[in-house]
């Protein structure tokens, strides 16, 4: 399987600078500039090319990863909704636009599906590669650094979970994309039943082994670890099988204003994941945890309790512990009851970008050969 097109790779055979060679009679020919190559007037830029500070947006590749039915496609379908709602709780707003018509159509269809049709996406077939441009609000520069406006292109591969299995024909393509990715979003689905959970680990293990081999062959392991930044999303946090035990065990706090949304505080997310592995979901979740910690640098992993569709809210748009379950069965299919308020859908992405950006600034491994 050939490697995917890498937009950052320098192509050979590109246009040469405006130089011609002339023979000086003896020795090697000296390059001399074309006499009239000096521009007569200043070049005129495209009036609204949409560039920030004259720099093209960073091309950041993020891999999306998770067992079959862990919620990958729903997560992507909720991205536009999450971006639109970002300004509710934060200063400024994020905009997302597709780099292709297909990517734009995916966002529009995803938003329509979740908010108007109130249904979940159909199962993904094979591997679908999509790219979007994301632009965020200006961030104040810290400690003498300039202000910056996050502006990056996100390339995601949304693959059917089966593709992550070692014998799947498209696995090489997917592992290739993960190997070239700077960051990974891993959706951990605690709801899957015991049998699926076993599979979930099998998929993870098979992909990690191949990924580590691929990255090692490129000479890019760092202290024997994969160099990626990872956001682990504990998916379907709204599901009563996760939310109720989490609330009862005291992991959940609740805003007392606005929609009074419950959440796991950021600084507790890793402990929450550990608790789920140790106390709640049993040995398989522990295997997933060990596999993640042994392949990636633990300092590069962060955790989020996430939900693509959020909680059902009452008519006043307020959370009610007596009636919060969002999907209900209608005609044999899950139906979303109230317009989704995604939880930790955009945040894991924004954080990944900011961590990768920071690494590049430091001239770390991302600042070097993998840029
Ligand atoms: N409760 C809840 N269920 C979800 C959520 N996201 C996905 N699901 C369920 O999980 C199923 C599989 O999701 P999908 O996005 O197709 O998973 P994929 O195979 O990883 O792409 C959906 O049909 C929903 O039933 C969520 O945020 N909350
Ligand atoms: Mg899918």
Domains of the chain: 58-361 (3.40.50.300)
Q: Whose CA is nearest to atom 4 of ligand 1?
A: 236
Ligand 1: residue of 68, 74, 331, 332 to mutate (most ligand atoms within 8 A of CB) is 74
Q: Which residues line ligand 1 (CB under 6 A)?
A: 66, 68-74, 120-121, 123-124, 161, 236, 238-239, 307-309, 326-327, 334
| pLDDT for residue 174 | 83
Element (H, E) at 60: strand 58-66
Q: What share of the chain is helix, strand, coil (3-state, %, to 5)?
A: 35, 20, 45
| pLDDT for residue 97 | 94
**CA-based nearest residue to 176, from 370, 4, 356, 352:** 4
Residues of the chain with pLDDT below 70 are: 1-42, 44-58, 126, 143-145, 164, 166, 193-198, 281-283, 363-371
User: CA-to-CA distance for 368 and 301, rounded, in angstroms?
Assistant: 21
Residues 44-78 as b/e (b if ≥16 CB within 10 A, e otherwise) read eeeeeeeeeeeeebbbbbbbbbbbbbbbbbbbbbb
| pLDDT for residue 45 | 54
CB neighbours of residue 140 within 10 Å:
8
Question: Is residue 226 within 8 Å of 296, Cβ to Cβ?
Answer: yes
Q: Whose CA is nearest to atom 22 of ligand 1?
A: 120
Ligand 1: residue of 73, 117, 120 to mutate (most ligand atoms within 8 A of CB) is 120
Q: Where are the alpha helices (DSSP H) in 154-239?
A: 171-180, 194-217
| pLDDT for residue 231 | 97
Backbone φ, ψ for residue 263 (5° rounding): -160, 165
| pLDDT for residue 26 | 46
User: CA-to-CA distance for 106 and 100, rounded, in angstroms?
Assistant: 10
**CA-based nearest residue to 174, from 162, 190, 187:** 162
Closest ligand 1 atom, residue 235 Cα: 27
pTM equals: 0.82
| pLDDT for residue 95 | 94
| pLDDT for residue 61 | 87
Q: Whose CA is nearest to atom 13 of ligand 1?
A: 71
């Amino acid at each position: 399987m050939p490697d995917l097109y890498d937009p950052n790779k320098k192509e050979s055979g590109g246009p040469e600078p405006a130089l011609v060679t002339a023979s000086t009679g003896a020795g090697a020919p000296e390059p001399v500039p074309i006499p009239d190559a000096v521009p007569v007037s200043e070049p005129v830029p495209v009036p609204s090319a949409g560039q920030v500070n004259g720099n093209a947006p960073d091309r950041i590749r993020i891999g999306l990863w998770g067992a079959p039915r862990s919620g990958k496609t729903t997560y992507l379908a909720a991205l536009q909704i999450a971006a639109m709602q970002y300004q509710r709780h934060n200063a400024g707003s994020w905009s997302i636009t597709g780099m292709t018509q297909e990517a734009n159509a995916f966002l529009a269809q995803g938003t329509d599906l979740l908010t108007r049709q109130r249904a979940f996406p159909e199962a993904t077939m094979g591997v679908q590669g999509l790219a979007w441009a994301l632009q965020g609000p200006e961030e104040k520069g810290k400690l003498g650094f300039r202000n910056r406006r996050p502006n990056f292109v996100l390339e995601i591969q949304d693959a059917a979970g089966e593709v992550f299995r070692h014998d799947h024909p498209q696995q090489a393509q997917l592992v290739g994309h993960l190997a070239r990715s700077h960051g990974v979003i891993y959706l951990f689905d605690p709801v899957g039943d015991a049998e699926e959970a076993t599979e979930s680990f099998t998929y993870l293990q098979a992909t990690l082994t191949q990924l580590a081999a691929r990255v090692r062959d490129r000479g890019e392991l760092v202290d024997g670890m994969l160099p990626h930044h990872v956001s682990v999303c504990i998916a379907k946090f709204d599901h009563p099988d996760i939310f109720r035990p989490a609330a009862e065990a005291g992991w959940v706090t609740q805003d007392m204003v606005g929609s009074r949304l419950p959440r796991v505080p950021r600084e507790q997310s890793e402990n929450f994941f550990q608790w789920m592995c140790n106390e709640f979901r049993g040995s398989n979740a522990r295997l997933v945890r060990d596999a993640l910690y042994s392949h990636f640098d633990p300092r590069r992993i962060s955790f989020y309790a996430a939900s693509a569709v959020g909680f059902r809210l009452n008519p006043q748009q307020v959370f009610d512990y007596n009636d919060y379950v969002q999907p209900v069965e209608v005609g044999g299919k899950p139906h979303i009851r109230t317009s989704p308020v995604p939880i930790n859908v955009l945040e894991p992405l924004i954080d990944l970008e900011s961590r990768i950006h920071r690494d590049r600034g430091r001239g770390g491994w991302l600042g070097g050969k993998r840029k």
